[in-house]
Chain A
Amino acid sequence: SAVISQKPSRDICQRGTSLTIQCQVDSQVTMMFWYRQQPGQSLTLIATANQGSEATYESGFVIDKFPISRPNLTFSTLTVSNMSPEDSSIYLCSVAAIQETQYFGPGTRLLVL
């Protein structure tokens, strides 16, 4: 299985500011994803991070609010822009290598005041 790290593990931010979350995986993977998990809820896919090109966003998520980069096969960033309290959530990086077996990072816990 892939070992995934995320930074920061948690943060408290002021509304109107932006936070960039980093995801690093220990092996080259085919696909990288970003999910949001609101308190007490399931996981919602934000976007698929594509290497060297624009991410593919799910309905309800836009690039201006959640810009994503993936410069290589092992690293991606998600930025939460112009934050509001409604953005308080856990943000999870996920990767898939062989078949479609999908693994998750430890998550970034964000609180927006």
Chain B
Amino acid sequence: GQQLNQSPQSMFIQEGEDVSMNCTSSSIFNTWLWYKQDPGEGPVLLIALYKAGELTSNGRLTAQFGITRKDSFLNISASIPSDVGIYFCAGQLPNTGGFKTIFGAGTRLFVKA
């Protein structure tokens, strides 16, 4: 079945550093989504990407939809302590009745002040 490989699994960084994480797959996706999940909360949508090659920013966050439609990356610039959490990538592809979303295993980000 479809699978997403998300890396790194975890990151320990200093406040102010830039962060980069990515997802790859052998499957082609129509949409890529990036979420952040804080402890005890549901995932919150950060960025949605709908076209191959699309580069989208949301404040200090930048994400790109890979040209092959099989990968995506998320960058966080000038990290701050509240960036701590789990970041999930998700790829969507057509399915019976609509679409199906596949999630990566998550990247756990730790920021030291």
Is B45 on the interface with A (CB-CB < 8 A)? Answer: yes
| Closest residue on chain B to residue A33 by CB atoms | B101
Give the residues in chain B near A42, CB-CB below 8 Å.
88, 103-106
Are the C-beta atoms of B88 and A43 separated by less than 8 Å? yes
User: Provided the pairs A42-B105, A43-B88 are in contact, do residues A104 and B43 lie with their beta carbons within 8 angstroms?
Assistant: yes
A73 to B106, CA, bound (A): 30
Give the residues in chain B near A96, CB-CB below 8 Å.
98-99
A104 is contacted by which of B31, B35, B50, B97 (Cβ under 8 Å)? B35
Are the C-beta atoms of B42 and A92 separated by less than 8 Å? yes
Give the residues in chain A near B31, CB-CB below 8 Å.
99-100
User: Provided the pairs A101-B33, A104-B42 are in contact, do residues A43 and B97 lie with their beta carbons within 8 angstroms?
Assistant: no
Q: How many A-B residue pairs have CB under 8 A?
A: 55
Are the C-beta atoms of A45 and B44 separated by less than 8 Å? no
Is B7 on the interface with A (CB-CB < 8 A)? Answer: no
Is A88 on the interface with B (CB-CB < 8 A)? Answer: no
Give the residues in chain A near B88, CB-CB below 8 Å.
42-43
B103 is contacted by which of A4, A43, A109 (Cβ under 8 Å)? A43
Are the C-beta atoms of B45 and A101 separated by less than 8 Å? yes
Can you list 9 pairs linking A and B with CB atoms under 8 Å apart?
A31-B99, A43-B88, A45-B100, A92-B42, A99-B50, A100-B31, A102-B101, A104-B45, A107-B42
Q: Known contacts A101-B45, A102-B101; can you find 17 more A-B pairs with CB under 8 A?
A: A1-B45, A30-B98, A45-B100, A45-B101, A50-B97, A56-B96, A92-B43, A99-B48, A101-B33, A101-B48, A102-B92, A103-B45, A104-B42, A104-B43, A104-B44, A104-B45, A105-B42
